[in-house]
Amino acid sequence: MTIKSFSNTLFRSTIALGFVAFAGAALPAIDLTPELGEYTAEGMKFQQLTFHENKLRIDYELPHGWSFSGGGAELRLKPPKKNFAEAEITTVSLSKPQPLDENVRASLKEKFLATLPAGSQLVKIEQEIESPVLVNGNPTFEIIASYQLIGEKFCRSALFANVHDSQLVFRFSSRKEDFDSLHGEFRASILSWHWLDAADQESKPAATNGSAQ
């Protein structure tokens, strides 16, 4: 196995392990199994994913050109033509509503560091940001770290949102040289994440169905 292929395999496996570390055993209330739709606005075509939480619908606009896979408690997103770059959206149920106070943020930071790949070197917390974006009007907390693995420099971010009795984690990892632009695309897309109640669903039909990439 070449160094590049080994590094890619290790990178992907630690992404998956990170999800397990955050999720625990609780079953998520939010089902991230996506329904793909498309809509046109101002002459441009956009892709929209729809998820469900009980009888509520959740709409999310995919970053332009990104592909997706997975479902259930974990959705994976990948930007086009970039090795070692991948995003995840994961969800887990909370036993009760949990504000992102100082103690919770400290715990999330500890768990976040535990998801970095085994053997990571020169680990550095680059930023800890309160509410860089809101999720459906709810506060968030984001951590960004840099690290080195098998001679390459990477960055990883995790943005947490505790909404009702669920925790959403929007995670992104890539080579350091690609991080700023791709992370910016992914984080901007989070602004489109919103719940529709019964009245909203009646007044706003789902986008035209398409197929997963």
Give the model confidence (pLDDT) of 157-187 as tens digits: 999 999 988 999 999 999 999 999 999 999 9
The domain defined by 3-208 folds into Protein Transport Mog1p; Chain A (3.40.1000)
C-alpha dist (Å) from residue 101 to 52, 89, 97, 148, 163: 27, 22, 12, 30, 14
Is pTM, for the whole model, over 0.85? no
d(CA 185, CA 63): 6
Inter-axis angle of helices 102-114 and 3-23, to 10 degrees?
Answer: 150
**Residue range 56-80: mean pLDDT, rounded:** 95
In the chain, domain spans: 3-208
Spatial contact of 60 and 192, defined as CB atoms under 8 Å apart: yes
In this predicted structure, the answer to whether residue 90 has a pLDDT above a threshold of 90 is yes
What is the rounded CA–CA span in Å between residue 86 and residue 79? 7
Q: What is the pLDDT of residue 206?
A: 54
Structural tokens at position 160: 């947490």
Average pLDDT, stretch 132-140? Answer: 96
Q: Which element (helix H / strand E) includes 189? A: helix 176-190
Collapsed DSSP state (helix, strand, coil) of residue 113: helix
pLDDT of residue 106: 97
Mean pLDDT of 47-76: 95
Is the pLDDT reported for residue 51 higher than 70?
yes
